Each structure stands twice: as structure tokens, then as C-alpha cells.
Amino acid sequence: MTFQHPFDQAIALTPTAEGEYTGSTSPAYANMVGPFGGVTAAVALNAVLQHPALLGEPVALTVNFCAALADGVFTATARPARTNRSTQHWVVELAQGGSVVMTATALTAARRETWSLDDGPMPAVPQPDALADTVSLPQVEWVRRYQTRFIEGGIPTNWDGGGASSQTRLWMRDAAPRSLDFCSVAALADVFIPRVWVRRATRVPVGTVSMTVYFHAGAAPLTELNHSWVLGQARAQAFRNGFFDQTAQLWSEGGHLLATSHQVVYFKE
Amino acid sequence: MTFQHPFDQAIALTPTAEGEYTGSTSPAYANMVGPFGGVTAAVALNAVLQHPALLGEPVALTVNFCAALADGVFTATARPARTNRSTQHWVVELAQGGSVVMTATALTAARRETWSLDDGPMPAVPQPDALADTVSLPQVEWVRRYQTRFIEGGIPTNWDGGGASSQTRLWMRDAAPRSLDFCSVAALADVFIPRVWVRRATRVPVGTVSMTVYFHAGAAPLTELNHSWVLGQARAQAFRNGFFDQTAQLWSEGGHLLATSHQVVYFKE
């Protein structure tokens, strides 16, 4: 019996036909209701990556959280809607009991050597070794699957309505060693705690409804990074009429931008 | 005969069945190859807005440009993948000659009065009256459908490889008066010139492959704004392996954040 990382267990899919799979939510990534959304996003991406017609590597992924997943089995379908010479467009759906619980689109492409530039440096922050582990939400199971070291904008210690900034910066990585790859980056993009909690120091019900990840690093550089830390930065731009946005960046320890991500989140009150 | 705004002509869809439409590209919005992508994004959104089962207003839209549209007719399909009590998730496709040219997803929802905040002020910029009109790409037809007044990061005057920043700021609006709405905001999110041209002062072939728009303002505030100016700000975060990203904000003249948008763009060399 070989050890399987809990993340690989959580995103595992069993093919039932070309582009059709079954999977199951993982208790190791349980959220307050249903599983951690970052893992569900990774499952949608994995349905593309497991497809025999796959061309290239992920460049963009958009997932839409249509409903909270129930604990248990789900089906996934991935369809290459358009295949070009060097790019491929995917449509993905996850369903439970015949009802759609996630829609997604993805772009995969052949990466080429070109002129390259990160437009702006990684923020100057303390190195992970200089910081202590923080478990942001001890009562939530999936949070324990990540090692997190907050620099700013962690879970408020006083829920007193006194928040002043929506920005969070933290170092993060899988708690159990696992090399970085596209699926784990997609999940890391959703590790940030809700912006509205940080900005307001007020705990209101929230739920991500749509998330996009742009992958700036290819498969080889991610593999080379192995289990190293990722610096995450997230902030909101607007809270309005029950929804807020989050714009986020993920850098390698060496300061390379690995991914940028955006999401829009429902909030109550 | 009543006057129809060229934008309304360009995004017009004729229903052929529930959620199925035909449309046609508009010469008024011709790009270098095919139509202006912002209008195609607006068409995808319009397929949702025209659907008889529509619930609520757009909150998020992601469009994937799978192939350059040929001039002429196309079909559009919009399907409500999941309808909840106050949110609805849509899957949209545009096709020509049986091949998919765009995939899209959208979230519509009932907007409610909640605690609201723009996290960060609109940048301090000169008012539109203090600036002159600039036609950024005189040889491109769609550019003439917009009135644009650049503050910074316009089309380089010298293509000498000497660019230093990827940021563009400009005031923009439809050239012919038309009230703002969700479709026009979706199109405005794509009016920015390619980041790689601005950053490098080098003209290389480009094409947007995926764009997301989060709508922070509802229908009523957009209608109230009527034909007023919109401040657009866009910058790139990474150029790597043939793709770069763009993160953008759109504000009303009064400084309210109307929408945030992101896209990933193919570039050659």
C-alpha cells in the first residue's frame, strides 16, 4: 500500500467514459458546509488534465460554485469545446443527483519561450522562517491541510467591527509535503479567508460564487519548486449589494509570480 | 424608422428557440481580424439577458475567445445550468458553421441592500473636459465607436522598445450617446489597448483568450449614469510564455467602482 497525499485523494477522479468521471468529496477537506472550494476547483481542473485529448497546459481556469456540494459522490464531465493548433478550450461541469453544482471553463495551451516580465516586484515581506504557524480557523477541517504563516490581514482577533484594510498577506503550502502543480495552485488561490471578515472585523455568512485563476508558471517550474512556500496576497476592490470581489497574487519564494486570481463572493448583510 | 444605436445593432439576437439565437457581426465594430472582442462578450451576455427564464442581474461574466469570429452570422445558446433562490448560473456558447467560437459562463443574482464599500478611492486624474479626444488606432473601425481621452499609457508614439509601465488610464464612453448598461460595461472592459504594446513599445500580434467582468453596479445606477464618462484603469501583472494578464477597473465620473475585470491575452514573441 502506497501513501497517497490527502490532496491527491480529494481530487481523484475515476473515468467512466471519455471525459466523464466520478469522484467523492474528502472529509480531510471539509469546510463549514460541503468541501473546501479550492479543492472543488482543483477537481474541475483535474477533469481536464485527465482527458485523453488534452493539449498543452492550463493557462486559465474559471469555476462557478452553483451550489454547496453535499458530502459524497459527484460526477464530472470535461469537453474540449474547441481545439486549435496550440490552444484548447474546455467546458466542465460537476453534478450531484442530476443537479449541476459547478460549471467551469478552462484554457490549455502550449507554452513557448517568449519575452517575459513580472510587472511589479513581489512585496517586501518577512521570510517564512521568521514567522509562526497560524491556524486561521481551528474548527474547520480543511484549514489543517495547509501550513499558513500570516504577515497581515489574518482572522481578526476581535470581531469588533474595527477592520481598516481588506488586504491579507501570508505564506502558505500543503501541510503534508507535496510538490506544487496546477491543481494545488488552483486550490491555494482559494485559501485566503473572506475579505469581508478582514475588512469589517465582522463575521457574516459568505460563499464564493465564481473564481478565476491565471497560471503564469508552467508545469516544469512548478515541479522544481517542489514543496516550497507560496506568498499569497489578496484584497477586495468593492463590497456592494451582497457581493464582493477579491483580487489575488501568488508568488514563489524566489519572487516569481506563479498565478493571479480573482473571485466574487456572496455575503449576507 | 427608428434610430438604433450601432452597439444595439451589433449585439442584437433573434431568438430561434428558448435560449437559442442567431446574430451577425457588425461592420461598425470590425477589428483587425473579426469583430471587437468586447462586443462579442456583450453578445454572450445579451443571450443570457434575453432568456425568458432569467433571474436577477449580471454579477459575473467570463468569456473565452476560442477562435476569431468570421464576419457574418453566428448562433448563440444560453442555458441556465442551475437556478437557486436568488442566484442563477449560465453556460453560453457562440458558434459559426458548427464550430464553437466562444464559450462563456455568467452569474446573475438578485441585488440586495447591504453594507457596501469601495475599498480604495478612484485615482486622482484630470477630468475628461481637461483632456483631448485621442483615436488610439485610427485604422481600426471599432475604435471609432468609442470616444476616448487618454490620461496615461496610450498607444506608444514611438515603437522603440522603450516602454516602462504597463498601466493605462483613460476616460471612455460610446461615441454616439447611449445609456450605460451591463452589455456596454462588458464591452468597455475590453476597450484597453494591449498591455504588451504599452509595456514594451513594441507591436506584436495579440489576442484576448479569456476575459472576466465582475459587475459591482446594478441596472438602476447604470441607467442613472446615462451617457457619462467611465474612467478605465488597466495594468498587467505578468508576461510569460506567450500570455499576459490584464487587471482593470472601471469607475463612474463620480468615483464609484462600476466593474472590475481581468483578462489573459496571447502574444507572439
Residues of A in contact with B84 (CB under 8 A): 66-67
- Closest residue in B to A61 (Cα) is B210
pLDDT at B3: 81
Nearest to B114 among A82, A119, A241 (CB): A241
Predicted confidence at residue A269, as pLDDT, reads 84
Find the mean pLDDT for residues A83-93. 97
Please name the member of A115, A200, A217 whose beta carbon is closest to the beta carbon of B239. Answer: A115
* Interchain CB distance below 8 Å, B116 and A91: no
Q: What is the mean pLDDT of chain A?
A: 96
Q: Which of B68, B66, B111, B70 is nearest to B88 (CA)?
A: B111
Contact B201, B260 (CB under 8 A): no
Longest CA–CA span in chain A (Å) reads 55
Q: Cβ A91–B89 below 8 Å, yes or no?
A: no
Quote the CA–CA distance of B234 and B185 in Å, as a whole number.
15
Query: Which triple of cell numbers denotes residue B135?
Result: 483615436
B contact test, residue of A119, A202, A266 with most B CBs within 10 A: A119
Whether B93 and A103 lie within 8 Å, measured CB to CB: no
Q: For chain B, give percent helix, strand, coil, nearest 5.
A: 20, 40, 40
The residue to which cell 484549514 is assigned: A143
Read off the pLDDT of residues A147-168 as tens digits, 9 standing for 90 and up: 999 999 999 999 999 999 999 9
Radius of gyration over alpha carbons of chain A, in Å?
18
Q: Average pLDDT, stretch A88-117?
A: 97
Asked whether the beta carbons of A27 and A76 are under 8 A apart, the reply is no
If we measure between CA atoms, which residue out of B48, B73, B50, B71 comes closest to residue B61?
Answer: B48
Which pLDDT value is given to residue B44? 98
Q: Which of A87, A113, A260 sits opposite B209 (nearest CB)?
A: A87
Q: Which residue in the set B66, B120, B216 is minimally distant from A81, CB to CB? A: B66
Which residues, listed in sequence order, are joined to residue A203 by a DSSP beta bridge?
none
B268 vs A contacts (CB less than 8 Å): 114
**Per the CB < 8 Å rule, is B257 touching A238?**
yes
CB contact under 8 A, A81 and B100: yes
Q: Write out pLDDT tens, residues A176-235.
A: 999 999 999 999 999 999 999 999 999 999 999 999 999 999 999 999 999 999 999 999
Nearest to A66 among B89, B216, B262 (CB): B89
- Distance between A1 CA and the closest CA of chain B, angstroms: 39
The predicted structure's pLDDT at residue A1: 56
The Cα–Cα gap between A45 and A27 comes to: 20
- Under an 8 A CB cutoff, do B212 and A262 touch? yes
Q: How confident is the model at residue B1 (pLDDT cuts 50, 70, 90)?
A: low
For Cα atoms A36, A38, A40, give the angle at the middle one, nearest 5 degrees.
75
The CA dihedral of A55, B74, B45, A68, to the nearest 10 degrees, is: -50
Chain B residues in contact with A81 (beta carbon < 8 A): 66, 93, 100, 103
CA-to-CA separations, B67 to A88, A160, B33, B58, B228, in angstroms, rounded: 10, 51, 10, 25, 33
Read off the pLDDT of residues B36-82 as tens digits, 9 standing for 90 and up. Answer: 999 999 999 999 999 999 999 999 999 999 999 999 999 999 999 99
pLDDT > 90: percent of chain B: 96
Overall residue count recorded for chain B in this entry: 269
Closest CA to A87 of A71, A69, A107: A107
User: SS3 for A223?
Assistant: helix
Top residue of A64, A113, A249 to mutate, by most chain B CBs within 10 Å, is: A64
pLDDT of residue A198: 96
Q: Cα B124 from chain centroid? A: 23
Instruction: Give yes or no for a contact between A188 and A182, defined as CB atoms under 8 angstroms apart.
Output: no
Give the nearest chain B residue to A198 (CA atoms): B119
User: What is residue B252's predicted lDDT score, i.e. its pLDDT?
Assistant: 98
Q: Which chain B residues are closer than 8 Å to A209 by Cβ?
A: 59-60, 87, 107, 109
Residue of chain A with shortest Cα separation from B87? A66
Q: Tell me which chain A residue has its CA closest to the CA of residue B108.
A: A209
Contact between chains at A245 and B116 (C-beta distance less than 8 A) = no
- B245, closest residue in chain A (CA to CA): A214
Instruction: Using the predicted structure, report yes or no on whether residue A2 has a pLDDT greater than 80.
Output: no
- Nearest-neighbour CA in chain B from A261: distance (Å): 9
For residue B33, name the pLDDT band (cuts at 50, 70, 90).
confident
pLDDT in tens, A21-54: 999 999 999 998 899 999 999 999 999 999 999 9
User: CA of A131 to nearest chain B CA: how many angstroms apart?
Assistant: 27
Banded pLDDT at A136 (limits 50, 70, 90): confident
- Closest CB to A107: pick one of B109, B209, B247: B209
Nearest to A99 among B82, B216, B241 (CB): B82
Q: Is the pLDDT of residue B19 over 80?
A: yes
**Domains in chain A with CATH codes:** 6-110+126-267 (2.40.160.210)
- What are the CA-CA distances from residue A219 to residues A50, A59, A111, B159 (Å)? 15, 11, 10, 34
C-alpha cell of residue A236: 477586495
Nearest to A23 by CA among A76, A99, A98, A102: A76
Full DSSP string of A78-103:
EEEEEE-SSEEEEEEEEEETTEEEEE
What is the reported pLDDT for A167? 97
| DSSP one-letter code for B129 | G
Using one digit for the tens of pLDDT, what is the confidence trace for B151-196? 999 999 999 999 999 999 999 999 999 999 999 999 999 999 999 9
Residue keyed to cell 509601465: B165
